[in-house]
Structure formats: C-alpha cells, structure tokens
Structure 1
Amino acid sequence: MCVALKRCAYRHKGKIMENTNIVTTEQQAPNTISASNAIFNVQALGQLTAFANLMADSQVTVPAHLAGKPADCMAIVMQAMQWGMNPYAVAQKTHLVNGVLGYEAQLVNAVIASSSAIHGRFHYRYGGDWERCTRTKEITRDKNGKNGKYTVTERVRGWTDEDEIGLFVQVGAILRGESEITWGEPLYLSGVVTRNSPLWVSNPKQQIAYLGVKYWARLYCPEVILGVYSPDEVEQREEREINPAPVQRMSVQEITSEVSTRTSAQESAANVDAVADDLRERIDTASSVDQA
C-alpha cells in the first residue's frame, strides 16, 4: 500500500488556501515468474514457446545443434531463466557431446559464483610444481572421415604422466551464513581421465580449477547446478569401425581339402617314423656291417 499526498490550491477571500488530501493507492508487485512454475502458467508457457520458436529460427546467434530445434531451445530458455541470464549467451556456451548437452566450464563457474549460495568469490590452492606441465608439441594424425582418410595437425601435451603426479588444486568458498572458507578435497591432475577440452593441453591449471569448482558445488550447493554437466564430465567414446570387413568364409570343399591335407601329412609322418624304427632294429640285430 502506498500513501500519497494530493495538494490543491484555491482562493478564499483574497487569500490562497492550500488543501491537502490523503490519497491511498495499492502498489502492485512486479509480475515475475520462475522457470519451475512457468509450465503451469498457460500465458507464460505460451510466451516461452513463442520465444523458443524465435530462437530456433536463428542461424548465427545459436549453435548448430540448437538451430531449428524449438524444444531444445525451450530447455535453454528455462535454464537461463533459472540462472537469471541471457538465453542466447547461455546457448553459445553449450556443446553436444555423445548426445548429451554440456555447458562450458566457464559458464558453470560464472553461475555458481554469481549465485546466492556463496559469499564472494572462489579461492584456490595449487600444490606441486606446475612448471612441469607447460610444454606442448605438435603431432600429425591420420583420421577416418566420410570421404576417406585425412591428416590433421594437433597440439598435444609435452609432458608425461609421471610429471602430473603430485599436482593438485583445492577449491573453497564462503557459504551463505558462514564466515570461514569451506575447502573441498584436493583434486589431483593425474586423476582427471576425461579431458575433452583442448585447454587441458594449453592451460591445465585453469581447467582443473573449473572442474574443482563443479565438484565443490555438487557437494556443498547441488541445487545451483542440478543436472548440469560440462563436456569434460561427459566421457568421450572411442571411435569404432561401423562397417568392419567381413570375416573370410571357407567353403565345404576347402574345409574337406584342408582336412585331407592334414591327414596325409600325419600319415606321411607316421610312415617315416615306422621306416626309421625298422632301420634301427635291423642295425641292432646285425652281426656285421654287410648284414646291416
């Protein structure tokens, strides 16, 4: 409720009189709606559907895996509503890995840092000699595509698995209502198996920090990123040949011929052994060289 003063002036007997009236008005709260209850509001759901259709018609401002797919764009819109972010900005930070929609680690980190679950920013502790993991090198690989084999040049790490032993990061933040930093468990670089991002080669300290933030959030404030995964958390499946070469089959005639050959070889070996035994027996029983 809002109380306002309404002033009006009038002239009475040559004097300017001022009359003050108290006017009572009702202050309306802003019409806001969350992503969770939008599906139960017919008007809001219609507006979201129209926006998702408009978003799906985009050719440049949305990634290829979302273009022309209103239902997937609707999921992005609702997720952006929950985070209070621009749906187009959220869409640009998504990737499709093995049929699973993944969000970039940078976006997930920003969502957690800007949420009300923590106070301030995240804190990081690094352990070990990270200078050992700063070298990179270029290699050439052969890959199979639709049009045959092709060659690509990639930059890979220039260090070994032994160099990663002992390197870790520890992530911490101040939870809402607390005054001290809550530190998570150390995350060791040697224990990170899935590394889909090329930044694991050029900037491993940043990537492991992003991953540590997600692990910390899933333990201490899971409601912030419930059901949200980054490409580094989705295991990359190994490529396999879809149409392998058929196994060479043998005809009945070839099998019979092979069996006959093996039988003949076995019989020949048996005959040789018999002749050798007979010859040794004659030598042993002979009384002279002429008899042998």
Structure 2
Amino acid sequence: MNAPRIDPTAIVDPAAELHDGVVIGPYCTVGPRVTLKPRVQLISHVTVSGRTTIGEDTVVHPFSALGFPPQDFKYKGEDTRLIIGQRNIIREHVTMHPGTGVGRGETRVGDDGYYMIGSHIAHDCIIGDRVTFANNGTLGGYVQIGDYVMLGGLAAVHQHCRIGRHSFVAGGAILTNDVIPFGMVQGNTARLAGLNLVGLKRRGFSRQTIHDLRAAYRLLFAREGTFKERIADAKSLFADRPEVMEIVDFISGEAERPLCLPDRD
C-alpha cells in the first residue's frame, strides 16, 4: 500500500476518493465528488471539482481547473460527469468541463493525451486516445475527436464537429465543419488541405496504405461526377482497404456539421 501524499497547504474534502500513490501538491483544492485513481499527481495550485474522475498516472500541472460547471446557459446544475483517462499530461491553465443535462451528461477524455498550456475541452465532448492539443487549442461543446488527432496552437473547433482519427488541425485554424480521418485542415475558416502525411509516416503506416489513401482522396474530392457517385466508386475500388473505408464510413455517417472540403479556387 502506498498511501496518498497530501501537502499541508492543500484543501482536500474528506469525501474525495483517493487511491494508492496519489500525490496532491501545494495549494491544490479537491472537491467531495472527485476520484483520483492510483498515482495521479496534482503538482500544485490545481483545482478539481464536480463529479470528476482522473485516471491512473495522469499528471496535472499548476493552475488547471477540472470539473467546474459547463459554460452553457442551459446548464442548471444537473449531476453530470467529467471522466479523464489514464496517463494523460495536463499542462498549466488547462480547463475541462463536465457534460450537461441536455447533452450526453458527461465529457469523456481518453488515455495518453498531451494537453498543452491553456487548452480547453468543453461540455459533452468525447476525446480519443493519444490526442495532442497545442497551446490554447479550444473545443466547443459536443465535439468528437478520434485517436491520434493533433490540434494546433490557437485552433478553435465549433460545437458538434467530428474530427476523424489521425487527422491534423493546423495552428490558428477556425474549424466549423467535420474533418475526415487522416485529413489535414488549415485556415480561417479551415479547409481540407490534403492528408496528414507527416502523422501517417510517424505512426508507421505502410507505403501501400498511404498510396491507397492518396488515391482515394483524389477520387473522393475530384471535380468530376457527384459526391454520391464518387463515394460509391471509392466503396467499389477500395472495399478491402480498411483505412479508406474508415474515411468513407465517416463521410456517410450521421453528422450535425457539414464536411470540411478542399478549397476549389
């Protein structure tokens, strides 16, 4: 057993659930409905409120505020949750909010993420694993982000957007539409600028897979034919290519925002 270590200047409600190996540093505040899983570290000046769970081995840096009420006028104090996964690094001044009663009722953050200074996750978001937010990356409510997504510094994402796995949102982008898996978007307002080739190579995708993705991208966003026809062609030509079919399924899935498309200029 490795009992929690709590700095004498910290304020921790006796009802908070603290697991083995938790470290709570100077001037932190932990509320009564907070659960800190094994080996969570709150370095200093961290505040955790609401019904918030922080997963194993997550490290939270100074002045982060986790679990405070959503910035949504429809929120009326409902008992909603913030669930943060394992092994995340949460840097200074990060904010993450719980869900709302009119939404999913929870915000869920995956494992192994890196959330840099000042980044923000709003209410009712679902965040995948191994996600990176650069400084001041910001999400509106209800955003869904797949695994391995990278959000550039000062990028802002509109409510209800979906961002597919392994995609990249460039720094300063203002994103109002959905981003296909493996895509790269940039600009204000953000437009699809191709595939996230750097990310694909870094994560070990084969040359053949990247070749297939590039061919499918050119087909899907060509000028000839209708979008519906091009999707049907992609389904026929790349039926045995799971990465391509992930893009096709994403495009065909239910969405509340339009799809982010290439610039036609």
Q: TM-score range by the shorter chain?
A: under 0.3
Larger Rg: 1
Which protein has greater RCO, CA pairs closer than 8 Å, 6+ apart? Answer: 1
What TM-score, normalized by structure 2, do the two folds share? 0.25
Counting helix residues as a fraction of each chain, which structure ranks higher? 1
What TM-score, normalized by structure 1, do the two folds share? 0.23
